[in-house]
Structure 1
Amino acid sequence: MLEIRGLHSGYGKIEALHGIDLDVPEGEIVSLIGANGAGKTTLLMTICGRPAATRGSIRFNGRDITRLRTHEIAALGIAHAPEGRRIFPRMSVLENLQMGAILCDPSHFAEDLDDVLTLFPRLRERISQRGGTLSGGEQQMLAIARALMSRPRLLLLDEPSLGLAPLVTKQLFGNILRINRERKMTILLVEQNAFQALRLADHAHIIVNGRIEISGPGAALLNDPAVRAAYLEGIRPQAEVMP
């Protein structure tokens, strides 16, 4: 579904990605892990058109989207739940969800709204509440629900568990798994919780200083001694989300 070849990107004269090659097959969860500053967020943002790629190509369903603008990319079926949630804090939960559906046929709105509120029942309880008054976990649910309202074919999730309590994190990863399994949604997941990211992933990649260094099935990387030593030490088994 998504094919990235030789991708370079950055900010001004600072290059953050140095020739990324990455595939996201349809229907799979693909996880990207790495240290802070490795280029994970830059990769997701470059897929969405900001910053623009300086070299290389990004193809979505066979179409070259490398030079498209962000709203054009979104209209093709790519949705991004960004790092830090970035909901509209002064808008209600309902208004945030309406913003997510702005590019869609209005006739689908009621059905799609009920779907995301069924997936995240806490949001149904908070439907008239301002986004900025929600808890961190509720705001993350809202960020993902808003992305789903655009009816995407590819969902980009950037650090969804960042700053959340373990129980909330476990529930959130369960929802991500449901989105993939029940909706057949293709997901590219950037996540600092490497254990959960690898457990959920059909395939995974480790990015180091803007380059993909290790790739393979999620289960294989989860059991790789070098990967475990570098990224998984101190993870408690009870935090697992069982597929």
Structure 2
Amino acid sequence: MRNFIILSKYQTLLLSRNLKSTLIGFSLPILMFFIFSNLLGQYKVEESNLSIVEYLVPAYIPIIIINAVLVIFGQQYILYKEQGNLLKYKLLGLTSFTVAASIYLATIVFQLLASVTLILFAFLLKGVVFPFDNTLSLLGGFFLINLFQFALTVFIVSIIHKSTTYQPVAFMLFYYQMFLGGLTFPPEMFPDFLRKLMYIFNPIIYGLEIMRGVWVDGKVLFSFIKEISLLISISVVLIIISILLNKKNKNTL
């Protein structure tokens, strides 16, 4: 446990040293909120008759998560594998899981800081109020999306073994989830056929529904049993496949 804490602090320090690129990624949702809250502020969601601005923050927090896990954590993790650092740490008594968890924990810290910054910015700019009564449900949704992104990242890393290949794939999936997952524009603005495809090919929309329902509608986390079950099931399947692929690769070597 002590080694894990020390390594987590070290990984956080590494992210801090690369603060410029980290801030660029995490400032994207804040910039998007500034643009779209002014651009779409006069429009309302027909189903609730609420301003679209109310729906932006719970949609942009998942963007922070995707960037942190898929792009930052994934890139760091695959670099460790590619450079043989996982084996070096293993010789020091640290398992691959411990190293991966320490890298991941460092991104969680930055996720929380970026999310709080976005929430404060939205409140100061547009008066968007944080639903304090539903904080636990929001945290539940936050970690469910993290679980899905973690599983997706581990799955990709089990297939791709070069950081130079991983980076463009990670960015492609980042933008795919952001633009075609209802995170940039509310799903209600999409044509019906595209919305149906989103529910089949872009599971992030289930995380979005949880965050929106908890934030805007005041529902509790367990009002979304179907969405929770789907996110957990997909995540478990991706992790199991990743484990099997890693074992196959080791046997091949």
User: What's the TM-score once normalised by structure 2's chain length?
Assistant: 0.27
Choose between structure 1 and 2: higher strand proportion.
1
